[in-house]
Amino acid sequence: MKPWKPPHGVQWLAGVDEVGRGPLAGDVVTAAVILPDNHAIEGLADSKVLSSRQRENLYADITSRALCWCVARASVSEIDRFNILQATLMAMRRAVMGLRQQPDYVAVDGNRLPQWEYRGEAVVKGDGRVEVISAASIIAKVVRDAEMKAFDITYPGYGFASNKGYGTPQHLEALARKGATPIHRRSFAPVREQIELTQAALFD
């Protein structure tokens, strides 16, 4: 896949990525980042191919050296109300609007752009091809992972610290045994089906 470059003349390039579209629980978290041309941050890559230690070290570098960055989200209730795609696009818009320096071009990971006034484009596999998207990916991943570890203490038994809300066998077993928590996405089939089973059992 050929390298990606922004159009000529772009001064303030923002990268945007999300984490948490697939899990059964927790918010979807997005980040927007603008890096200086001479940022000298080594090791930027898709957050999914990095170890947790690498992500945390890079998170410290990115947040200290970026011109500006912003984390935003769409809540579980928004995901259930609008669907995960629309909620993700809303969260991306919030992240870019929250930047202290508004960009003149935005590169978004994936194949869909939010509806907004910014010039930009969606870059397929951008989190591995565009440094500023990689930076956004890392920030969003570190923030969301930390939140899910905290939820593991609030809602023990679901394995949130390790599965980050994804539908692992441990998570699905706990969901069947313990029921849904307030952070579960009720519009997602495994959660919805378990709630329906629980409700049906009450009326047997």
Per run of 10 residues, the mean pLDDT along the chain (length 204 residues) is 86 98 98 95 95 98 98 98 98 98 98 96 96 98 98 98 97 96 97 87 62
Domains in the chain: ranges and CATH: 13-153 (3.30.420.10), 157-202 (no CATH)
Q: Based on C-alpha coordinates, what's the Rg of the chain?
A: 18
SS3 132: helix
pLDDT for 130 equals: 96
> Cα-flanking dihedrals φ and ψ of residue 158, to 5°?
-90, -15
Q: How far apart are CA 139 and CA 69, in angstroms?
A: 9
pLDDT for 183 equals: 98
Q: How far apart are CA 71 and CA 67, in angstroms?
A: 14
pLDDT for 202 equals: 63
Measured in Å, how far apart are the chain's first and last C-alpha atoms? 57
pLDDT for 200 equals: 67
pLDDT for 3 equals: 77
* pTM listed for this prediction: 0.95
pLDDT for 1 equals: 63
